[in-house]
Amino acid sequence: MKHYAHINDLENLETTVQEAIGLKKNELKFESLGKGKTICLLFFNNSLRTRLSTQKAAQNLGLNTIVMNFGSEGWQLEYEDGVIMNQNKSEHIKEAAKVVAQYCDIVAIRAFASLTDKEKDEAEIVINSFKELSGIPVVNLESSCGHPLQALADAITMKENAARHKPKVVLSWAPHPKALPHAVANSFIDMMHLQDADFIITHPEGYDLNPEIVKDAKVEYDQEKAFKDADYIYVKNWSSYQNYGQVIPQEKNWTITADKMAKTNNAKFMHCLPVRRNVVVADEVIDSENSLVIEQANNRTYSAQIVLKKILENLG
Ligand code: CP
Q: Report the binding-site residues.
A: 47-50, 75, 110, 142, 147-150, 176, 236, 272-273, 276, 300
Q: Output the residue whose Cα is nearest ligand 1's atom 1.
A: 272
Cα of 22 to ligand 1 centre, how many Å? 24
Altogether, the residues listed in the chain come to a count of: 316
Among 41, 142, 184, 303, name the best residue to mutate to test ligand 1's pocket (greatest count of ligand atoms within 8 A of Cβ): 142
Which CATH number characterizes residue 90's domain? 3.40.50.1370
In a domain, 155, yes or no: no
C-alpha atoms less than 13 angstroms from C-alpha of 290 in its C-beta half-sphere: 19
Whether residues 185 and 96 share a domain: the answer is no
Whether residues 253 and 304 share a domain: the answer is no
Note the pLDDT of residue 274: 98
Whether residues 27 and 137 share a domain: the answer is yes
Cis peptide before 274 (omega within 30 of 0): yes
Average pLDDT score over residue span 63-76:
96
Whether residues 77 and 135 share a domain: the answer is yes
Residue 113: domain span: 7-146+300-315
Q: Report the binding-site residues for carbamoyl phosphate.
A: 47-50, 75, 110, 147-150, 272-273, 300
**167 near 231, Cβ under 8 Å?**
yes
DSSP conformation letters of 249-280:
P-SS---B-HHHHTTSSSPEEE--S---BTTT
Question: How many domains does the chain contain in total?
Answer: 2
**28 near 62, Cβ under 8 Å?**
no
Whether residues 218 and 92 share a domain: the answer is no
**CA-based end-to-end distance of the chain:** 11
Task: List the Cα angle 116/101/59 in 5-degree steps.
Answer: 95
Give percent above pLDDT 70 in the chain.
Answer: 100
From the list 219, 147, 224, the residue with the least C-alpha distance to 188 is 147
Whether residues 199 and 73 share a domain: the answer is no
Whether residues 12 and 132 share a domain: the answer is yes
Confidence (pTM):
0.98
Average pLDDT score over residue span 266-276:
98
DSSP conformation letters of 275-294:
--BTTTB-HHHHTSTTB-HH
Q: How many CB atoms lie within 10 A of CB 38?
A: 15
pLDDT tens for 6-56 read 999 999 999 999 999 999 999 999 999 999 999 999 999 999 999 999 999
- Whole-angstrom CA distances from 167 to 254, 291, 295 are 23, 17, 19
Atom nearest to 272 CA in ligand 1: 1
In a domain, 153, yes or no: no
Indicate whether 250 pLDDT > 90: no
Pocket (CB within 6 angstroms of ligand 1): 47-50, 142, 150, 272-274
Average pLDDT score over residue span 280-289:
98
Whether residues 142 and 212 share a domain: the answer is no
Whether residues 194 and 215 share a domain: the answer is yes
Indicate whether 251 pLDDT > 90: no
pLDDT tens for 76-131 read 999 999 999 999 999 999 999 999 999 999 999 999 999 999 999 999 999 999 99
DSSP letter at 91 equals E
Whether residues 142 and 270 share a domain: the answer is no
In a domain, 286, yes or no: yes
ipTM: 0.99
Consecutive H or E run containing 157: helix 148-160
In a domain, 151, yes or no: no
Confidence of residue 308 (pLDDT cuts 50, 70, 90): very high
Whether residues 142 and 12 share a domain: the answer is yes
Whether residues 190 and 110 share a domain: the answer is no
In a domain, 152, yes or no: no
Rounded Cα gap, residues 184 and 199, in angstroms:
16
DSSP letter at 167 equals -
Cα of 49 to ligand 1 centre, how many Å? 5
pLDDT tens for 165-178 read 999 999 999 999 99
Q: Report the binding-site residues for N(2)-succinyl-L-ornithine.
A: 142, 176, 236, 276
